[in-house]
């Protein structure tokens, strides 16, 4: 790992020099690529320096502990060592994740669709809980959040919510959220105190970038307008501002109703439609170019049960990587770093193994 970090830090110096080149400054595409690479390499440097600092402090504390005789001071040193060891483990994990090579899609805006599945009102409530979890994770990561569309449920929560997350490494960290999320807990309406199991589905789509041309012809669209409605059938407004778009060549249907303006709802619906068309095209190309086994590497199957949230035991389990943590309360408050980092490393290793077999 040290050797790889050393190579990347050498590369950082070269990238910094290139960013000062007038020819690069005049090439918007090249400049954008270099600034993204610089951001990544700077993150590696910062993490490596923190890890080195904590490791050095831990070594010094252990040396002092070997010769220190005062019981109180030994206790202080031991407590400090425990904290340092935890920080070293955390930073090592972060650095390992950073050393997974960047992908061109890493920084793409990510459209997250969350839908209630089995479980009725309880599933809709959990859609609201997961939406909050992702929002808080976005805050921790410094990402911005924009809601494209939402359909509230009468009992609270949402039947469906679609939002866009934007920021550094957003698709890198969020793409593996796609799949079926299962929740086990006692609903507020359950008088007997029995644990119920409900499920929601999550889809994660990379929004096409400015340099990607997704052609959606007007003749290929069927546009329907209708009145926006909220929970209980209450009209959000009294005009036909909600927009439903049907892409005739693919049969993809999207709808947006959150804005009071039909034009704004149409713009949001087109963004969502472009992402869905791009995703379908990507999957089609993967099937053509790769085996079925390879095409599943690094993608989330919405029909697959990927994670269970067990509230009575404060347990969250990701079934794909056999990871079980007893910190569900913190995970629901947006502390998804450990799960996300583990998934990034797992799927990178899976891809490496797949490439080696061919």
pLDDT computed for residue 42 by the predictor: 92
Residue 101 gets which letter from DSSP?
Answer: P
pLDDT at 98: 85
| Band of residue 322 on the pLDDT scale cut at 50, 70, 90 | very high
- 3-state class percentages of the chain: helix first, strand second, coil last, to nearest 5: 50, 20, 30
Angle between helices 337-357 and 71-98 in degrees, nearest 10:
50
When pLDDT is averaged across residues 344-356 and rounded to a whole number, the result is 78
Query: Confidence class of residue 229 from pLDDT cuts 50, 70 and 90?
Result: low
pLDDT in tens, 166-190: 998 999 999 999 999 999 999 876 7
More confident residue, 146 or 304: 146
The residue-averaged pLDDT of 217-235 equals: 75
Q: In which residue are the tokens 């995703």 written?
A: 279
- Confidence class for position 304, pLDDT limits 50, 70, 90: low
Q: Which helix (H) or strand (E) holds 312?
A: none
Distance CA 113, CA 147 (A): 10
Give me the long-range contacts of 278-281 (CB less than 8 A, separation at least 24): 278/205, 278/206, 278/208, 278/212, 278/214, 279/205, 279/206, 280/250, 280/252
Q: What is the pLDDT of residue 296?
A: 34
Least confident of 139-143, 221-225, 232-236, 295-299: 295-299
Contact, 112 vs 171, CB < 8 A? Answer: no
> By CB neighbour count within 10 A (0-12 exposed, 13-18 middle, 19+ buried), where does 75 fall?
exposed
Rounded to two decimals, the pTM is 0.74
Q: What percent of the chain has pLDDT over 70?
A: 90
CATH no., domain 218-289: 3.30.160.20
Q: Does position 358 have pLDDT exceeding 70, yes or no?
A: no
Position 297 scores a pLDDT of 33
Residues 106-137: pLDDT tens digits? 989 999 999 999 888 999 999 999 999 999 99
CA 277/CA 249 separation, integer angstroms? 10
| Contact of 153 with 116, CB cutoff 8 Å | yes
Please state the rounded mean pLDDT for residues 204-232. Answer: 81
In words, the CATH class of domain 110-213+300-357 is alpha beta
Q: What is the pLDDT of residues 50-64, one digit of tens each?
A: 999 999 999 999 999
Most confident of 92-106, 139-153, 289-303: 139-153
Annotated domain spans of the chain: 2-98, 110-213+300-357, 218-289
> Cβ–Cβ contacts within 10 Å for residue 58, how many?
17
- pLDDT at residue 221 is higher than 90: yes
Alpha-carbon separation of residue 238 from 94, 227, 228, 255, 294 (angstroms): 50, 7, 8, 18, 50
Instruction: Name which of 30-39, 48-57, 272-281, 290-299 the model is least confident about.
Output: 290-299
């Amino acid at each position: 790992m040290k050797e790889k970090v050393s190579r990347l830090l050498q590369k950082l110096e070269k990238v910094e020099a290139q960013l000062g080149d007038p020819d690069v400054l005049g090439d918007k595409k090249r400049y954008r690529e270099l600034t993204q690479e610089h951001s990544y390499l700077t993150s590696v440097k910062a993490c490596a320096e923190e890890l080195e600092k904590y490791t050095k402090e831990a070594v010094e504390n252990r040396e002092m502990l070997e010769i220190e005789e005062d019981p109180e001071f030994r206790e202080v040193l031991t407590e400090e060592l425990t904290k340092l060891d935890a920080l070293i483990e955390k930073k090592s994990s972060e650095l390992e994740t950073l050393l997974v090579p960047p992908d061109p899609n890493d920084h793409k805006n990510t459209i997250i669709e969350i839908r209630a599945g089995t479980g009725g009102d309880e599933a809709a409530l959990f859609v609201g809980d997961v939406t909050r979890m992702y929002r808080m994770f976005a805050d921790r990561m410094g990402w911005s959040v924009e809601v494209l569309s939402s359909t509230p449920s009468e009992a609270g929560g949402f039947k469906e919510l679609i939002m866009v997350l934007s920021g550094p490494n957003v698709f890198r960290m969020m793409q593996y959220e796609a799949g079926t999320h299962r929740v086990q807990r006692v609903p507020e309406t359950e008088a007997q105190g029995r644990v119920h199991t409900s499920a929601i589905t999550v889809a994660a789509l990379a929004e096409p970038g400015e340099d990607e041309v997704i052609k959606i012809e007007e003749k290929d669209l069927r546009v329907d307008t209708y009145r926006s409605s909220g929970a209980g059938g209450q009209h959000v407004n009294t005009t036909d501002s909600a927009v439903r778009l049907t892409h005739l060549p693919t049969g993809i249907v999207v709808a947006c109703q959150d804005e009071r303006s039909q034009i704004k709802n149409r713009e949001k619906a087109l963004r969502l439609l472009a992402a869905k068309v791009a995703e379908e095209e990507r999957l089609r190309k993967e099937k053509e170019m790769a085996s079925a086994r390879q095409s599943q590497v690094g993608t989330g199957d919405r029909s697959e049960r990927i994670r269970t949230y067990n509230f009575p035991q404060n347990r969250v389990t990701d079934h794909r990587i056999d990871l079980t943590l007893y910190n569900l309360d913190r995970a629901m408050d947006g502390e998804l770093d450990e799960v996300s980092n583990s998934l990034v490393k797992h799927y990178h290793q899976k891809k490496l193994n797949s490439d080696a077999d061919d």
